[in-house]
Amino acid sequence: MNDKPVIGVTIGDFNGIGPELILKTFSNELVFNYCTPVIYANTYLFKFYAKLLSYSTLNFNVVKKVSDIKKNQLNLRICNREIIEITPGSPSVQAGKFALDALQMAIADIKDGLITDILTCPIDKKSITDAGLSFNGHTQYFASEFESTAQMILMNEELKVSMVTGHTPFNNVIKSITKESVFEHIRLIHENLKADFAIIKPKIAVLGINPHGGDGGLMGREELDIILPAVKEAQKENILVMGPYAPDGFFGSKNSTNFDAVVGMYHDQVLIPFKQMAFTDGINYTAGLPIVRTSPDHGTAYDIAGKGIGDTSSFINALYLINKVRRNRINYFDNSKETLGFKTHRREKFSIGVPDLG
Residue 4 banded pLDDT, cuts 50, 70, 90: confident
Over residues 44-62, the mean pLDDT reads 95
Q: What is the mean pLDDT of residues 57-76?
A: 94
Whether the model clears a pTM of 0.85, i.e. scores above it, the answer is yes
In which element (H, E) is residue 125 found? Answer: helix 125-130
Please give the pLDDT value at position 337. Answer: 53
- Positive or negative torsion for Cα 72, 73, 76, 77: negative
Mean pLDDT of 214-234: 94
Q: Residue 308, class by beta-carbon neighbours within 10 Å (0-12 exposed, 13-18 middle, 19+ buried)?
A: middle
Mean pLDDT, the chain, whole residue set: 91
d(CA 225, CA 118): 40
Helix, strand, coil percentages in the chain from 3-state DSSP, rounded to 5: 45, 15, 40
| Model confidence at 354: pLDDT above 80 | no
pLDDT digits (tens, 9 = 90+) for 179-188: 999 999 999 9
Sign of CA dihedral 263, 264, 267, 272: negative
Domains of the chain plus CATH, in order, are: 1-150+281-358 (3.40.718.10), 157-280 (3.40.718.10)
With a pLDDT cut of 70, the percent of the chain lying above it is 93
Distance CA 248, CA 276 (A): 14
Q: What is the pLDDT of residue 218?
A: 86
Q: Which of 256-265, 276-285, 337-346 has the lowest mean pLDDT?
A: 337-346
Nearest to residue 116, comparing CAs of 291, 330, 327?
291
Comparing CA positions, the residue from 60, 122, 127 lying closest to residue 91 is 127
